[in-house]
A and B are shown apart, each in its own frame.
Chain A
Amino acid sequence: SQTIHQWPATLVQPVGSPLSLECTVEGTSNPNLYWYRQAAGRGLQLLFYSVGIGQISSEVPQNLSASRPQDRQFILSSKKLLLSDSGFYLCAWGGGGLVPYEQYFGPGTRLTVT
């Protein structure tokens, strides 16, 4: 069966510090991968998606970036965090291909920028 891991589970970082969140998927090959952010009062927002290694598309311009160095690894980064980056970050995977089937979410990382 497929499982998705995210770490760390919680993170408190000062403004201006760097960020690296990692997501890995097991039990599937060539998945589509996604990063979402859930901020208080703003719902769930798609940040990045990837249909393959090195292929990243950004949905929202911001100071975050994403990378996919391996087939089942997805990393969310920032060089300098802003207060507005606080939120709950969720990684998800979906079946590879062009049909948007359901996505399965990881446990999330709760980020607080102070």
Chain B
Amino acid sequence: AQKVTQAQTEISVVEKEDVTLDCVYETRDTTYYLFWYKQPPSGELVFLIRRNSFDEQNEISGRYSWNFQKSTSSFNFTITASQVVDSAVYFCALSEAVKAGLIFGKGTKLSVKP
């Protein structure tokens, strides 16, 4: 069965610290897609990144970077030099097919204090 685990329920850091959000997934399919979303206090889910199972290249976008490792079934998200505006709930998600929609982890609430 498909499953996404975000073991960190809440993380609190001080501004400018680096922080890594962990995501571990389970799937039996060889083709699948992984995602990260950000949910600020307003509630709307904001898409951050998609990764295909056949592309293990890590990605960097500004202060954000993602580390995809199939060997450990992990897709971790690092924010470098965190800022107060990064405070939000972050969700990792998995999809194997259109009909399955997105399978979300329970989210990690990140609080960045000034």
Q: How far is the CA of A101 from the CA of B33 in the complex (A)?
A: 8
B-contacting residues, A71-114, CB 8 Å: 88, 90, 92, 94, 97-108, 110
Given known A43-B105, A44-B104, contact A57–B44 (CB-CB < 8 A)? no
A-contacting residues, B27-84, CB 8 Å: 33, 35, 37, 42-47, 50
What DSSP secondary structure best describes chain B's contact surface?
mixed
Contacts of A44 in B (CB 8 A): 91, 102, 104
> Is A24 positioned at the interface, with any CB of B under 8 Å from its CB?
no
Are B98 and A100 neighbours in the complex by a CB distance under 8 Å? yes
Are A100 and B43 neighbours in the complex by a CB distance under 8 Å? no
Residue in contact with A46 in the complex, picked from B50, B102, B106, CB distance below 8 Å:
B102
Given known A88-B43, A108-B43, A110-B43, contact A100–B95 (CB-CB < 8 A)? yes
> Is B7 positioned at the interface, with any CB of A under 8 Å from its CB?
no
**How does the 8 Å CB contact mask read for B87-108 relative to A, with 1 for contact and 0 for none?**
0000100011111111111110
Q: How far is the CA of A43 from the CA of B102 in the complex (A)?
A: 12
Are B44 and A106 neighbours in the complex by a CB distance under 8 Å? yes
Smallest CB separation, A89 vs chain B (Å): 10
Smallest CB separation, A57 vs chain B (Å): 6
Are B47 and A102 neighbours in the complex by a CB distance under 8 Å? yes
Smallest CB separation, B49 vs chain A (Å): 8
Are B104 and A94 neighbours in the complex by a CB distance under 8 Å? no
Are B104 and A43 neighbours in the complex by a CB distance under 8 Å? yes
Residue in contact with A94 in the complex, picked from B44, B98, B107, CB distance below 8 Å:
B98
Q: Which residue of A lies closest to B94 (CB)?
A: A100
> Is A51 positioned at the interface, with any CB of B under 8 Å from its CB?
yes
Are A32 and B98 neighbours in the complex by a CB distance under 8 Å? yes
Smallest CB separation, A3 vs chain B (Å): 12
Can you show 28 pairs from A to B with CB atoms below 8 A apart? A34-B102, A36-B102, A43-B104, A43-B106, A43-B107, A44-B102, A49-B99, A49-B101, A51-B98, A51-B99, A59-B101, A90-B45, A92-B45, A94-B98, A98-B97, A100-B33, A100-B102, A101-B50, A102-B35, A103-B102, A104-B47, A105-B44, A105-B45, A107-B42, A107-B43, A107-B44, A108-B43, A110-B43
